[in-house]
Amino acid sequence: MPRNPFQFLEVSRADPEKRPVGERIRDFNEIYGQFDADTAAAQAGRCLDCGNPYCEWKCPVHNYIPNWLKLIEEGRLLEAAELSHRTNTLPEICGRICPQDRLCEGDCTLNDGLGAVSIGSIEKYITDEALKLGWRPDLSDVEPTGRRVAVVGAGPAGLGCADVLVRNGIEAVVYDRYPRIGGLLSYGIPNFKLDKAVVENRRTLCESMGIRFVLDTEVGRDIGMDDLLEEYDAVFMGLGAYRAVRGQLPNEDADGVVPALAYLVGRANEQLDTDAVGGMSVDVSGERVVVLGGGDTAMDCNRTAIRQGARAVTCVYRRDAENMPGSRREVKNARDEGVIFRYNRQPVGIEIDGERVVGVRVLETRLGEPDERGRRRPETVAGTDEIIPADRVIVAFGFNAEPAAWYEDQAIAHYEDGRTLVATSGEYPFQTSNARIFAGGDMVRGADLVVTAVFEGRQAAESIVRFLRAGADAGADARAVAGR
Ligand code: FAD
Ligand code: SF4
């Protein structure tokens, strides 16, 4: 059938069905359903194919969005899956948890009143459905190079790197201190946003591509970076950013105050029946919970607390709703699920009775001049003290990178400011000050997004390929000069 160029007028934007609030807050299962093939095709057919695809530019991995939308419109699912994997290592995961409203869909031409194409849901549909049909990436034309690279960290950055390495004929062995792959995909982001079975399916897929995982193995403790440099041609580090930002609040270490990631890792351990480091088993059922912060981590804590049966969950944020850093979709989901938002409130202290938390002292704020990142600074208003009662306080102020003691032995430089990010100022993009070590993801750009970590891992792999090739060429030249 010929393409209908006016489909965007005749078919409204649709999203996969969302489970009703009363049902979904009683379990930890994903809240969105899946398109069927006809709906996916009809939604994909809304794409204008506008010539200069702003969505593609805005997508951090520059997915070939209009091209795979067209394939889905034509029912060519397996070709769409192959194409979608050319640019993205984790398309079914990004389709679920990218903040599309700020990325691809935010820049869709139709977003100007007609409703953006539901790009994320179609991206998820493509891989989920192709995998059900037994699809696997086609690596039949890959020529082994005999080169080997160790990837440290099985999070999005590490997986992105390993994917591109094996597609270039380089053996990739991925080490992680956790018992499951995925990094924060498994041990941060809750199941109701990303089912852990999806991450396990990805592991199977990676292994089918020849990627090998060595889990429960911490580099620097169970195996040295020296050993890796000896055994492999190069190393990629995607270690993430795990040092929690503290609020410097009086009584921040009181009984009942919990760091956000410890809470979420604890919950993931219970669910996965693992014992990943850094988790705390905390049950907030029946408690009044106050979550401090306004990003994705805070939203995940809010919604986890709701599902654990908290009596009330209040989210305290120092700016207004407009200036929240997290995904708007997740803020809306949190609100629908019963989270109470207290905007323009700056926490200034934890109130205790004996050793135990009983509340959070806050001051009202108003927004002042923009900071260096363009976000307006909150300024506290004197005389507006208020205590929000709490049995439990969860602190979600963000994360910084944590340089390991062994960086110095390997001459890996990092910035000395508060974020202590690893410097990738080598000759090749994402090369550290040690020429054989590359790095990317949260430990290099600061805590950010899955899709940006995937992008950096992939880019680093491209650099490693060029670096190893240059080394091989130099070796061949030297052998030619020596007459060997
Ligand atoms: P990580 O995912 O942190 O992976 C690093 C890996 O390195 C870990 O598996 C760790 O165990 C391993 N590691 C560290 N040190 C060692 C060592 N010495 N030896 C061996 N292994 C080691 N992003 C989104 O796009 N959408 C969201 O909805 C979203 N929600 C989030 C919710 C929460 C609660 C959090 C904390 C983050 C969220 N993010 C979200 C951000 C996203 O998860 C991260 O930006 C992304 O995971 C970073 O990938 P990475 O590979 O750099 O690091
Ligand atoms: Fe959109 Fe993220 Fe997919 Fe890119 S990776 S197309 S930004 S959902």
pLDDT digits (tens, 9 = 90+) for 229-270: 999 999 999 999 999 999 999 999 999 999 999 999 999 999
Residue 462 near ligand 1, beta carbon < 6 Å: no
User: Given ligand 1 and candidates 175, 189, 218, which is best to mutate, with the most ligand atoms within 8 Å of its CB?
Assistant: 189
Residue 156 near ligand 1, beta carbon < 6 Å: yes
User: Given ligand 2 and candidates 451, 452, 456, which is best to mutate, with the most ligand atoms within 8 Å of its CB?
Assistant: 451
CATH class of 7-132: mainly alpha
**Residue with CA closest to ligand 2 atom 5:** 94
In the predicted structure, residue 16 carries a pLDDT above the cut 90: yes
Distance from the CA of 57 to the center of ligand 2, in angstroms?
10
Q: What is the mean pLDDT of residues 30-56?
A: 95
The DSSP bridge partners found for residue 380 are: 365
* Atom in ligand 1 nearest the alpha carbon of residue 153: 7
Q: What is the mean pLDDT of residues 153-168?
A: 98
pLDDT score for 221:
97
3-state SS track over the chain: CCCCCCHHHHCCCCCCCECCHHHHCCCCCCCECCCCHHHHHHHHCCCCCCCCCHHHHHCCCCCCHHHHHHHHHCCCHHHHHHHHHHHCCCHHHHHHHCCHHHCCHHHCHHHCCCCCCCHHHHHHHHHHHHHHCCCCCCCCCCCCCCCEEEEECCCHHHHHHHHHHHHCCCEEEEECCCCCCCCHHHHCCCCCCCCHHHHHHHHHHHHHCCCEEECCCCECCCECHHHHHHHCCEEEECCCCCEECCCCCCCCCCECEEEHHHHHHHHHHHHHCCCCCCCCCCCCCCCEEEEECCCHHHHHHHHHHHHCCCCEEEEECCCCHHHCCCCHHHHHHHHHCCCEEECCEEEEEEEEECCEEEEEEEEEEEEEEECCCCCEEEEECCCCCEEEECCEEEECCCEECCCCHHHCCCCCCECCCCCCCECCCCCCCCECCCCCEEECCHHHHCCCCHHHHHHHHHHHHHHHHHHHHHHHHHHHHHHHHCCC
**Residue with CA closest to ligand 1 atom 46:** 450
pLDDT digits (tens, 9 = 90+) for 267-290: 999 999 999 989 999 999 999 999
| Closest ligand to the CA of 224 | 1
Residue 334 near ligand 1, beta carbon < 6 Å: no
In the predicted structure, residue 474 carries a pLDDT above the cut 90: no
Do you know the residue count of the chain?
Answer: 484
| Closest ligand to the CA of 397 | 1
pLDDT score for 51:
86
Residue 106 near ligand 1, beta carbon < 6 Å: no
User: Please, which pLDDT band fits residue 482 given cuts at 50, 70 and 90?
Assistant: low
pLDDT score for 5:
77
pLDDT score for 36:
97
User: Please, which pLDDT band fits residue 185 given cuts at 50, 70 and 90?
Assistant: very high
**Residue with CA closest to ligand 2 atom 4:** 59
User: Please, which pLDDT band fits residue 6 given cuts at 50, 70 and 90?
Assistant: confident
Report domain extents, the chain.
7-132, 148-242+400-480, 247-397
**Residue with CA closest to ligand 1 atom 28:** 97
Among 284, 290, 280, CA closest to 249: 290
CA dihedral in degrees (299, 305, 307, 310; nearest 10)?
A: -140
* Ligand 2 pocket, Cβ-based, cut-off 6 angstroms: 59, 61, 63, 65, 88, 94-95, 98, 100, 103-104, 119-120, 123, 451
Q: Which two tokens stand for residue 88?
A: 């993205």
* Atom in ligand 1 nearest the alpha carbon of residue 220: 18
Residue 291 near ligand 1, beta carbon < 6 Å: no
| Closest ligand to the CA of 121 | 2
pLDDT score for 271:
94
Q: What is the mean pLDDT of residues 20-31?
A: 98
pLDDT digits (tens, 9 = 90+) for 413-439: 999 888 899 999 999 999 999 999 999
Q: What is the mean pLDDT of residues 440-465?
A: 98
CB-side neighbour CA atoms (13 Å) of 98: 32
In the predicted structure, residue 475 carries a pLDDT above the cut 90: no
Q: What is the mean pLDDT of residues 7-28?
A: 94
> Which residues are CB-neighbours of 203 under 8 A, at least 6 positions away?
180, 181, 182, 213
CATH of domain 247-397: 3.50.50.60
Q: Are 263 and 300 in contact (CB under 8 A)?
A: no
pLDDT digits (tens, 9 = 90+) for 351-410: 999 999 999 999 999 998 888 777 788 999 999 999 999 999 999 999 999 999 999 999
| CB burial string 460-470: b at 16+ within 10 A, e below | bbbbbbebbee
User: Given ligand 1 and candidates 184, 410, 420, which is best to mutate, with the most ligand atoms within 8 Å of its CB?
Assistant: 184
Worst-scoring range by mean pLDDT, 31-40, 326-335, 433-442, 458-467?
326-335
Share of the chain above pLDDT 70, in %: 97
Q: Which residue has the tokens 């907030």?
A: 284
> Which residues are CB-neighbours of 288 under 8 A, at least 6 positions away?
310, 311, 312, 314, 389, 390, 391, 392
Q: Which residue has the tokens 């190393």?
A: 235
**Residue with CA closest to ligand 2 atom 1:** 104
Residue 101 near ligand 1, beta carbon < 6 Å: no
Are the folds of 148-242+400-480 and 247-397 the same?
yes
* Atom in ligand 1 nearest the alpha carbon of residue 178: 11
Q: What's the CATH number of domain 148-242+400-480, 3.90.110.10, 3.60.9.10, 3.40.50.1100, 3.50.50.60?
A: 3.50.50.60
pLDDT digits (tens, 9 = 90+) for 189-226: 999 999 999 999 999 999 999 999 999 999 999 999 99
pLDDT score for 479:
58
Residue 238 near ligand 1, beta carbon < 6 Å: yes
**Mean pLDDT value across the chain:** 95
* Atom in ligand 2 nearest the alpha carbon of residue 123: 3
Residue 177 near ligand 1, beta carbon < 6 Å: yes
* Atom in ligand 2 nearest the alpha carbon of residue 65: 6
User: Based on the number of CB atoms within 10 Å of its own CB, is 212 exposed (0-12), middle (13-18) or buried (19 or more)?
Assistant: middle
Distance from the CA of 470 to the center of ligand 1, in angstroms?
31
Distance CA 68, CA 311 (A): 45
Q: Are 170 and 209 in contact (CB under 8 A)?
A: no
User: Please, which pLDDT band fits residue 323 given cuts at 50, 70 and 90?
Assistant: confident
Sign (positive/negative) of CA torsion 281, 156, 91, 47? positive
User: Given ligand 2 and candidates 123, 126, 163, 455, which is best to mutate, with the most ligand atoms within 8 Å of its CB?
Assistant: 123
